[in-house]
């Protein structure tokens, strides 16, 4: 696939698809970093704790059944 002269000039001027991709990448990176710095909501931590307890209970139930055999 060959590039047309129009695309080549748009890329060299910095106002073409490559420039747009770079700008979007920078914005996404900045957004990701801001989200990364946020704390974890208490509600989410509570749900994770409940999940851990449920998984431990299931594992304990399996261990009890295996011991009974």
What are the domain boundaries of the chain? 1-38, 40-69
Q: How many whole angstroms from its chain centre is CA 28? A: 11
Band (14; pLDDT cuts 50, 70, 90): low
- Provide DSSP, the chain: -PPPHHHHHHHHHT-SHHHHHHHHHHHHHHHHHHHHHSPPPHHHHHHHHHHHHHHHHHHHHHHHHHHH-
More confident call, 7 vs 50: 50
Band (18; pLDDT cuts 50, 70, 90): confident
Claim: this prediction has a pTM higher than 0.75: no
pLDDT at 3: 52
Residue written as tokens 């011991």?
A: 67
Which of 15-19, 24-28, 65-69 ranks highest by mean pLDDT? 24-28
pLDDT at 15: 66
Cα distance between residue 14 and residue 23, in whole Å: 11
């Amino acid at each position: 696939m060959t590039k047309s002269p129009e695309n080549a000039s748009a890329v060299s001027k910095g106002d073409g698809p490559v420039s747009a991709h770079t700008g979007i990448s920078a914005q996404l990176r900045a957004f990701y970093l801001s989200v990364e710095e946020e704390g974890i909501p208490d509600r989410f931590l509570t749900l994770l704790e409940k999940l851990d307890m449920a998984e431990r209970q299931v594992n304990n139930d399996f261990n009890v059944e295996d011991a009974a055999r």
